[in-house]
Chain A
């Protein structure tokens, strides 16, 4: 079967750096997405990786290793507004998104 694993919850301190991991086993691979979802709001797109390596976008970076079925989202200079759930999703061989259950990130002052 298809599976996406990510930690259920993480806690970090304002101003620090946090890395949220995602491992996947899917039938085919057409890219990996990261989304942010604040409580009670819609998920919003953060990043897309289809080739191995690191993609940097401001305070957020996303890394992909296709051979290891692994990705991480790196958040730097954490702010209180970064408290949210972070969803990892893989596009499979049918271009259907397979979603992880999300990682709830709690930022403490």
Chain B
């Protein structure tokens, strides 16, 4: 148990559906992240929020829309996804962003399959 929870753990959706992924951290951290993990590929950073403000958006398609209502919760809204978006989506948090040395704590991930 890392102190970061994600729901749902598994999600199957059609290309025309709209769904949301939820992440919650119980560590009192200020920074939260969304990553995409595909088989045999490096983790891809999607979005970073620091003190609820988005600080990084790594050229992610607009069909992925993040939301951070407070420093403990992070959402990833999904719509009109493509089959290549099927992957493990990981949420992480750290004490801060923009400072070296703070390790990230990861949630268990949501395994997303787009049909």
Contact = CB atoms under 8 A, between A and B. Distances in A.
A91 B108 contact: no
A91 B100 contact: yes
A101 interface: yes
Given A8-B40, A99-B42, A101-B41, A31 B101 contact: yes
Interface of B: 2, 4, 40-43, 45, 48, 56, 90, 97-101, 103-109
A95 B97 contact: yes
A45 B104 contact: yes
A94 B103 CA distance: 15
A97 B40 contact: no
B67 to A, nearest CB: 21
Interface in A11-34: 30-31, 33
Nearest to B58: A96
A31 B99 CA distance: 10
Contact of B101 (A4, A8, A48): A48
Among A33, A42, A87, A99, the one with the most B-chain Cβ atoms within 10 Å of its Cβ is A42
A100 B37 CA distance: 11
Given A8-B40, A95-B98, A101-B40, A42 B103 contact: no
